[in-house]
């Protein structure tokens, strides 16, 4: 009986010691999570002016406090989520004042500013961003024409941006001895930047760029090397994700393991006629340009030619579809030659009314039109 009691006592003592050690380990992990978050690059730079409290219990982190911008809520969450030992993040952060309405100028401007901050080869800190009806104007100084162009490229790809007017000044004066560029400064920072901060910037950057599928992308960072998982719509998107992530502050290398979704065009899309497509173009462009009464007649002349061209193209495609006999190589080439000639004839008919209409546009309307014909995008992207 005494031996049995002795054994039970030993079991109870051992269990108690195990629970104590387990609690001590959990407490140490929670302390490390809270300390690592506060010492991270993101919290010490981007979020230094925000009032954020971090509490971890058994790896479940709760964020409370006030941040100055909506985008900082997401950055804080994604950074903390990337810390070792974190199991979940309950983001209770509130934005000081009213949050900007989605797709408003304030909403777009906030995302453009954040996007430029995350990329090391542009000068996000010293770039002034102004948004008016979705048109972004950039001011400040760029170290080169290439940096100015890259700044335009990044800003243009932010969701909600219609077009970009880059009025940045390119510095022409020679650099002083020992002076470093913005990219070189960020490369120096990269050597000591923590992985969680890198992951947070990567996730937020992909979220703001409309040409990438952030929801389908998972990012992990180890010693500055970012590994990406998930699905890309096509090879071009996968390559773009690699390019964007390579330029994020702190990233040393990108290992892109994303798979190509290989989505097939739906039957509905395949059967979309040239007429339907053209009507959609006309509707989108008319809404974006906000055509005035004085421009109405010139616009009607242009759209009439667009509609006639669409009907002609549908007739050609219909003739091809009704001819069920398989084409040989020569016949196939002749058919495509016919299509090419039709496109050329239609373009020659379209140029005069388009030229007259373009001459009537304001500078703002011309900027929108120029961007539309260069990128094929009408205002806010409808890709997702």
Report the CATH number that the domain containing residue 243 is assigned in CATH: 3.30.1340
Check pLDDT > 60 for residue 271: no
Whether residues 355 and 315 fall in one domain: yes
Whether residues 198 and 130 fall in one domain: no
Residue 285 placed within a domain: yes
Q: Cite the beta strand spans of the chain per DSSP E.
A: 51-57, 60-67, 88-91, 94-95, 128-132, 135-139, 141-142, 163-166, 169-170, 217-222, 225-232, 253-256, 259-260
Residue 291 placed within a domain: yes
8-12, 17-21, 160-164, 223-227: lowest mean pLDDT where?
A: 17-21
The most confident of the ranges 154-168, 264-278, 345-359 is 154-168
pLDDT attached to residue 214: 67
Whether residues 80 and 141 fall in one domain: no
Taking residues 45-57, report their average pLDDT: 92
pLDDT attached to residue 22: 45
Start-to-end CA span in the chain (Å): 73
pLDDT attached to residue 170: 93
Residue 75, C-beta contacts closer than 8 angstroms, at least 6 positions apart:
42, 46, 47, 114, 200, 201, 204
Residue 381 placed within a domain: no
Whether residues 223 and 246 fall in one domain: yes
Whether residues 146 and 226 fall in one domain: no
pLDDT in tens, 315-333: 777 666 655 556 677 766 7
What does pLDDT average to over the chain?
79
- Structural domains in the chain (count): 4
Nearest alpha-carbon partner for 216 in 208, 224, 207: 207
CA distance 38 to 52: 9
Structural domain of 327: 267-375
369 with 289: CB under 8 angstroms? yes
Whether residues 91 and 118 fall in one domain: no
Report the CATH number that the domain containing residue 144 is assigned in CATH: 3.30.1340.30
Whether residues 161 and 208 fall in one domain: no
Residue 118 placed within a domain: yes
Residue 3 placed within a domain: no
Whether residues 135 and 113 fall in one domain: yes
pLDDT attached to residue 300: 86
Whether residues 218 and 242 fall in one domain: yes
CA distance 148 to 156: 12
**Percent with pLDDT over 90 in the chain:** 34
242 with 253: CB under 8 angstroms? no
91-95, 110-114, 294-298: lowest mean pLDDT where?
A: 294-298
pLDDT attached to residue 341: 75
Residue 8 placed within a domain: no
CA distance 346 to 323: 24
Mapped onto helix, strand or coil, the DSSP state of residue 94 is: strand
Q: What share of the chain is helix, strand, coil (3-state, %, to 5)?
A: 55, 15, 30
Residue 355 placed within a domain: yes
Check pLDDT > 90 for residue 274: no
pTM greater than 0.85:
no
Whether residues 346 and 275 fall in one domain: yes
CA distance 39 to 45: 10
Whether residues 369 and 273 fall in one domain: yes
Last residue of a domain, one of 201, 236, 260: 260
Whether residues 156 and 225 fall in one domain: no
pLDDT in tens, 61-88: 999 999 998 889 999 999 999 898 888 9
């Amino acid at each position: 009986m005494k031996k049995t009691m002795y054994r039970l006592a030993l079991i109870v003592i051992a269990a108690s010691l195990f629970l104590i050690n387990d609690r001590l380990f959990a407490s140490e992990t929670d302390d490390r999570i809270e300390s690592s978050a506060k010492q991270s690059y993101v919290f010490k730079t981007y979020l230094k002016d925000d009032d954020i409290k971090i509490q971890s219990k058994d790896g479940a982190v709760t964020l409370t406090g006030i941040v100055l911008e909506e985008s900082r809520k997401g950055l804080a969450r994604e950074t903390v989520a990337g810390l070792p030992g974190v199991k979940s993040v309950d983001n209770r952060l509130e934005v000081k004042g009213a949050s900007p309405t989605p797709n408003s100028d304030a909403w777009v401007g906030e995302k453009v500013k954040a996007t430029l901050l995350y990329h090391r080869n542009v000068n996000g800190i010293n770039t002034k961003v102004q948004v008016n009806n979705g048109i972004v104007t950039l001011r400040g100084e760029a170290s080169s024409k290439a940096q100015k162009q890259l700044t335009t490229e990044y800003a243009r790809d932010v969701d909600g941006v219609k077009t970009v007017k880059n009025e940045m000044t390119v510095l022409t004066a020679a650099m002083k001895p020992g002076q470093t560029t913005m990219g070189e400064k960020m490369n120096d920072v990269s050597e000591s930047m923590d992985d969680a901060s890198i992951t947070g910037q990567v996730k937020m950057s992909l979220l703001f760029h409309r040409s990438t599928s952030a929801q389908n992308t998972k990012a992990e960072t180890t010693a500055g090397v970012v590994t990406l998982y998930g699905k890309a719509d096509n090879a071009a998107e996968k390559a773009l994700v690699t390019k964007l992530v390579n330029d994020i502050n702190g990233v040393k290398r990108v290992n892109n393991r994303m798979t190509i979704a290989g989505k097939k065009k739906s039957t509905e899309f395949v059967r979309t006629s040239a007429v339907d497509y053209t009507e959609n173009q006309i509707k989108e462009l008319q809404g974006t340009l906000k055509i005035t009464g004085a421009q109405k007649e010139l616009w009607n002349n242009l759209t009439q030619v667009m509609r006639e061209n669409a009907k002609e193209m549908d007739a050609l495609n219909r003739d091809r579809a009704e001819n069920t006999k398989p084409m040989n190589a020569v016949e196939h080439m002749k058919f495509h030659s016919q299509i090419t000639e039709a496109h050329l004839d239609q373009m020659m008919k379209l140029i005069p009314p388009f030229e007259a209409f373009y001459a009537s546009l304001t500078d703002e309307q011309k900027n929108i039109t120029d961007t539309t014909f260069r990128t094929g995008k009408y205002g806010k992207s409808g890709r997702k």
